[in-house]
Amino acid sequence: MKLEVYIDLVFGVNLIMDYLLLEVMQKLVKKNSKMGRKIFAAILGGLGACFSIMVPTFRSGIFMILFGVILAGFMLRIAFRYETMKALARDILVYYAITFLVGGILNYLYYYTSAGYYITEFMRILPSKALNFFYLICFFAIAGGFIHLVKRILIQMKGTRELFYNVELVFGEKKITCKGFLDTGNHLREPVSKRPVVIADLDGIKDILPEELIDYAKDFMSDAIHKNIDRFVVRIKWIPYHAVGTEEGILPGIVFDEVNILKEDRVVHNPNITVAIYQGKLTVDNSYHIILHEELL
C-alpha cells in the first residue's frame, strides 16, 4: 500500500497547531510577544515538520528527538525573549508537555468517541479536491477549541502557585528578600500619587528599617515624640484603608527605594513604592510577610 503525504497539508496543520500552542505558552509563562513573532515562529515549526518528513534521518531515533528539541528552542526564542538558557530549557519542556497533552486529548476523542466516526463519514461525501481544505478547517476548529480548554485548565492548575513571589525590598543601602503573596483584593493606593501600595508586617521587614522608623511604625498614632524622624519625613505616608467587617483606619506608610518582584526568568523593578506597615502578623505560620498589589507585577 502506497502512502501519500500532502506536504501543503502537513505545513498547514503544523502551522496552525504551533501558533495555538504558542498562544497557550504565552498565557502560562506570562511573556510579552507580538502576533508577528508568533506567526513567524509557527511558520518555522511548519517548515520543520515538512523537513522532517522529506529527510528520513529525522523521522526516528535520537535524531528525531534532537531535531524536535532544537526546533522548539528556535521557535520559542523567536516568539519570546529569554535572558537565560535555563529559562529557555524550562519552557521547551513546558511546550512539549502541552503538546503531548493536547495530542493525547485529540487522539482520544477521535478514536474513542463518536467524534471520529462522524468526521470520517463526513469526509467520504466530500469531493477529493475539497478534502485538504476540509482537513485544515476541521483541524483548526477542533484544535483551537480544545487548546482553549486546556489553556484554561492549566492556568487554573498553575494559579495557586503563582500567587507567591520572592520580593526584594531596597531601603537606602540595605536590601532584604522575603516571601510575598499576590492578593487581587488589595486595592490600596497612596492618596496623593495614586500609586499602588503593598502591605508588610513589621516583623518581616524590620531588619531593613532604621530604629527611628521602627519606633514610629509601632506607635505612629500616639502622642509620643519621635526623635530624629525629620530626616525621613519625605518617606512617611499615611495610608487609609477599609477592610470587610472593620471600620476605616490608617496604616503608617514608608516609601521604599525599590520593591522588586523576583520571577523565574526576570525581575520586575518598582521604584519608590509605599509599603504600609501592619504591626501584627499577616499569617500564623509566617508563610509570607508581604501582600502585593497586582499592578506591580
Please, what's the largest Cα pairwise distance for the chain? 94
Residues 64 and 77: their CA atoms lie apart, in Å, by 20
Model pTM score: 0.49
Here the cell at position 76 is 520559542
Residues 81 and 88: their CA atoms lie apart, in Å, by 9
CB burial of residue 94 (10 Å; 0-12, 13-18, 19+): middle
Question: Is residue 5 over pLDDT 60?
Answer: no
DSSP 40-80: HHHHHHHHHHHHHHHSGGGGSHHHHHHHHHHHHHHHHHHHS
The residue written with cell numbers 504558542 in the block is 22
90 closest CA partner among 160, 155, 17, 29: 29
Question: Is residue 200 over pLDDT 50?
Answer: yes
pLDDT digit string, tens, across residues 247-272: 578 899 999 999 999 887 788 999 99
Choice between 187 and 290, residue whose per-residue pLDDT is larger: 290
Distances (CA, A) of 128 to 42, 110, 132, 133, 135: 28, 21, 8, 10, 11
% of the chain exceeding 70 in pLDDT: 70
pLDDT digit string, tens, across residues 79-125: 887 778 888 888 888 888 877 776 666 665 655 666 555 555 555 55
Determine the straight-line distance between the first and last CA of the chain, rounded to whole angstroms.
58
Q: Number of C-alpha atoms within 13 angstroms, CB side, residue 264?
A: 15
pLDDT digit string, tens, across residues 125-141: 555 544 455 555 565 56
